[in-house]
């Protein structure tokens, strides 16, 4: 596997901000790394694949999200490596290299926003802008010891960027601290975001199945927050969520990219090629069955989060897999991981990853999922739980 100690695929000749038209200094001095799915006028977008680059013109327009961050004082320092067309959670790229996880160099960085995550983790940027369809903010945030927010689906514009599956695509970001994450949220999210009632639901069945269960339980016990309650959860629900998400996402992906793949036969890494081939063979009957499963997951989540309750759960099954993990084992792990990430994905809900302090081990953490449009309230709750300033 080719690794890449520099997660950037493009760097400007000088740091760039939009100070001439600056709206505020809310992000003044904060450096911004942008996942190479977002279009920036005059800069090629590779989407992690050389054949995509060859067959698409250099953009003449800039993502409104990037423009907004720059207009509030952020400084653009480069575009970062992404997994091919963002269709992976590993962070590997056979063409441009796999960014190095500086917190655990023998482990994967997590994808598909791997470059943005590692740039933040190794202090090359303060804000790592990325996307999250199946977990591509939450997973690399977890593997690199960062805070990361997947917002409520649809609250942030996705114009001028390469889509994967628009039904699930969100724009998210990762930071080393909660204060910076909140500063970005105040720029990109509406101040009319809903509140939470302060109660946090935990699911022992979900926590006990991950390798860092003891650390999560210790945090819950010692954080000083008292309004926790436990609820039961059918483990089969995670399997159904994973299956439903993969099929519904796959149908969307083929609608989005099938014609281009068929016309140009791009070269993909074997695992990604296999997934695209799988997408091409999905049927309307499989989609209908997956939708039924997704509807059941939505009903369950609506019940759990009723009246402004928050769900606390593991973000990933454990620390990042080792770099030498076999492709077969990574495939099994992916399906297992998607069971956790699909809960928010299928329902369009906000999910905030919070890292746990771990001086002698690879990074791990947990997440908070809230009802739709409680993004800002989740950040406030995270500040109360961790004692970090937001």
Which residues participate in catalysis according to the annotation? 35, 112, 136
β 147-150/170-175 pair status: antiparallel
Distance from C-alpha of 3 to C-alpha of 15, rounded to nearest angstrom:
26
β 127-132/75-80 pair status: unpaired
Nearest alpha-carbon partner for 85 in 62, 53, 128 = 53
**Residues present in the chain in total:** 390
Structure tokens at 202: 């935990």
Helix axis angle for 284-304 and 235-264, nearest 10°, is 140
Say how many CA atoms lie within 13 Å of 247 toward its Cβ: 19
Helix axis angle for 375-386 and 178-188, nearest 10°, is 170
Distance from C-alpha of 30 to C-alpha of 70, rounded to nearest angstrom:
10
Nearest alpha-carbon partner for 95 in 245, 266, 213, 252 = 266
Nearest alpha-carbon partner for 161 in 117, 124, 113 = 113
Nearest alpha-carbon partner for 9 in 110, 139, 114, 136 = 114
Structure tokens at 239: 């399997």
């Amino acid at each position: 596997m080719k690794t890449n100690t520099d997660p950037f695929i493009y760097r400007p000749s000088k740091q760039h901000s939009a100070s001439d038209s600056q709206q505020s200094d809310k992000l003044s001095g904060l450096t911004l790394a942008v996942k190479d799915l977002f279009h920036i006028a005059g800069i090629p977008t590779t989407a992690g694949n050389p054949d995509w680059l060859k067959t698409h013109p250099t953009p003449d327009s800039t993502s409104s999200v990037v423009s907004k961050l720059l207009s509030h004082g952020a400084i653009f320092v480069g575009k970062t490596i992404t997994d091919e067309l963002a269709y992976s959670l590993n962070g590997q790229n056979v063409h441009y290299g796999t960014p190095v996880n500086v917190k655990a160099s023998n482990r994967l960085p997590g994808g598909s926003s791997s470059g943005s995550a590692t740039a933040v983790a190794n202090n090359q940027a303060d804000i790592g802008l990325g996307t999250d369809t199946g977990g591509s903010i939450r997973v690399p945030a977890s593997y690199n010891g960062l805070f990361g927010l997947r917002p409520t689906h649809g609250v942030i514009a996705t114009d001028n960027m390469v889509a994967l599956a628009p039904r699930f695509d969100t724009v998210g970001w990762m930071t080393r601290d909660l204060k910076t994450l909140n500063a970005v949220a105040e720029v990109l999210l509406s101040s009319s975001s809903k509140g939470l009632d302060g109660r946090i639901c935990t699911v022992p069945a979900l926590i006990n199945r991950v390798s860092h269960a003891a650390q999560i339980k210790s945090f819950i016990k010692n954080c000083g927050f008292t309004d926790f309650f436990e609820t039961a959860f059918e483990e089969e629900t995670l399997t159904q969520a994973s299956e439903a998400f993969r099929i519904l996402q796959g149908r969307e992906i083929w609608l989005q990219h099938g014609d281009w793949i068929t016309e140009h036969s791009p070269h993909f890494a074997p695992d990604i090629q296999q997934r695209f081939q799988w997408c091409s063979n999905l049927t309307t009957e499989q989609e209908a069955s997956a939708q039924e499963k997704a509807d059941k997951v939505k009903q369950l989540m609506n019940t759990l989060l009723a009246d402004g309750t928050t769900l606390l759960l593991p973000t990933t099954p454990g620390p990042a897999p080792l770099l030498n993990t076999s492709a077969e084992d990574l495939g099994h792990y992916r399906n297992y991981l998607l069971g956790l990430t699909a809960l928010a994905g299928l329902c369009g809900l906000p999910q905030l990853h919070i890292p746990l302090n771990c001086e002698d081990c690879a990074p791990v953490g947990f997440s908070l999922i809230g009802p739709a449009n409680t993004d800002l309230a989740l950040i406030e709750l995270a500040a109360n739980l961790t004692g970090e300033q937001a």
